[in-house]
């Protein structure tokens, strides 16, 4: 057994800590914004995540969001991600695009 195998067993492989992005859900519209839920799969859980876009004078602006909320199944994560995006839109509006992520 080589050192890389020993350290891999002790600390886990590098790949095991890398989250995978779940397939993006269908886009929905809310208050003129486009929401795309894209939960991140981490092991057997899905983390709340997605993007919010708005077309302003022909320019499409997009902000990404990730939250710590975990869900046992993808559909629950999609539903929660869409709700979280609506909340972000209601609270921040176009100001969210100044940062690019929320």
* 52 bridge partner residues: 35, 63
Closest Cα partner for 35 from 45, 26, 43, 44? 26
Model confidence band, residue 81 (pLDDT cutoffs 50, 70, 90): very high
> To which residue do tokens 């839920």 refer?
37
| 12-43 confidence digits (pLDDT tens) | 444 444 556 567 999 999 999 999 999 999 99
Q: Please answer whether residues 65 and 89 qualify as being in contact, where contact means their C-beta atoms are separated by less than 8 angstroms.
A: no
| pLDDT exceeds cutoff 90 at 10 | no
């Amino acid at each position: 057994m080589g050192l890389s195998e020993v350290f891999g067993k002790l600390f886990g492989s590098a790949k095991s800590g890398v989250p995978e992005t779940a397939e993006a859900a269908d886009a929905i519209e809310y208050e003129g914004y486009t929401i795309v839920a894209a939960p991140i799969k981490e092991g057997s859980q899905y983390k709340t995540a997605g993007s919010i876009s708005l077309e302003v004078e022909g320019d499409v602006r997009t902000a990404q969001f990730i939250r710590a909320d975990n869900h046992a199944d993808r559909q629950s994560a999609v539903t929660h991600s869409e709700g979280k995006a609506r909340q972000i839109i209601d609270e921040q509006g176009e100001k969210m695009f100044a940062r690019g992520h929320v």
